[in-house]
Amino acid sequence: MITPNSYFRLMEFDPAARTADMKTYMPYLNKYVNAKNQFKLTNVAFLPTRG
């Protein structure tokens, strides 16, 4: 159930660029929340995949 207080944290990972982008979305209002809740992590050390 989606309520007015529901939020989704969307995370997009780019191992080649070593970044992780974070955004917060409110489905009730069908919009992303303010810039304070959107940020990018840089120089992320992703673990190698197996097999």
Is residue 31 assigned to a domain?
yes
Per-residue pLDDT reduced to its tens digit, 23-48: 999 988 899 988 888 999 999 999 88
pLDDT of residue 48: 83
Number of domains, the chain: 1
Distance of alpha carbon 47 from alpha carbon 51, whole angstroms: 13
For the record, the structure tokens of 11 come out as: 């995370």
Q: Which domain holds residue 21?
A: 8-40
Per-residue pLDDT band at 13 (split at 50, 70, 90): very high
Is residue 1 assigned to a domain?
no
Is residue 45 assigned to a domain?
no
Which contiguous run of DSSP H or E holds residue 22?
strand 19-26
Is residue 13 assigned to a domain?
yes
